[in-house]
């Protein structure tokens, strides 16, 4: 739809990721596939070859492999902020599945909707916010406290 009809959010990160250490936001990956169906062929190939390397490369992510009788093989990714993403891998090759997995690993769990601004700061002004009197000399003289006339 249009950007006005769809939800939107501001750019942010989960729990100030990156200020100190970078933490991979992917918590758990479950690969659901079937042992016999043709659509799970790529998934089976990937599990034969690439799953162990992927699990070793990402020590912070738990990988679950569950063969079930299912029509549609999918990957269920759970993130540290609680969001769950499901991607179907019907008739995908092993190479495509590994690329999809790297993409899911590099994402944080925030929703993929329109991001309103491409920047975010917690301290927007350092030298002070501009107001119309900044850098203007006074039109009247220097302001001093009024001396009482009776003195």
- Which residues are near another protein by CB under 8 A? 1-2, 6, 11-13, 16-19, 22, 24-25, 103, 105-108, 112-115, 118-123, 126-127
User: How far is it, in rounded angstroms, from Cα 81 to Cα 27?
Assistant: 9
Neighbouring C-beta atoms of residue 20, cutoff 10 Å: 7
In the chain, the N- to C-terminal Cα span, in Å, equals 76
CA-closest candidate to residue 73, choices 51, 49, 92, 98? 92
CA-closest candidate to residue 29, choices 57, 6, 1? 57
- Residue 9 β-bridge partners: 115
Phi and psi at 141, nearest 5°, equal -70, -175
């Amino acid at each position: 739809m249009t950007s006005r009809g769809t939800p939107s959010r501001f750019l942010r990160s989960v729990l100030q990721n990156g200020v100190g250490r970078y933490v991979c936001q992917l918590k758990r990956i479950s690969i659901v596939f079937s042992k016999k169906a043709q659509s799970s062929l790529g998934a089976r190939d990937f599990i034969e070859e690439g799953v162990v390397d992927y699990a070793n490369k990402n020590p912070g992510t738990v990988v679950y492999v569950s063969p079930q009788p299912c029509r549609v093989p999918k990957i269920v990714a759970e993130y540290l902020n609680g969001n769950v993403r499901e991607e179907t891998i019907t008739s995908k090759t092993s190479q495509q599945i590994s690329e999809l997995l790297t993409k899911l690993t590099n994402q944080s769990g925030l929703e993929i909707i329109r991001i309103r601004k491409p920047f975010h700061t917690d301290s927007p002004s350092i030298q002070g916010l501009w107001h119309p009197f900044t850098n203007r000399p006074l039109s009247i003289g220097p302001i001093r406290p009024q001396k009482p006339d009776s003195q």
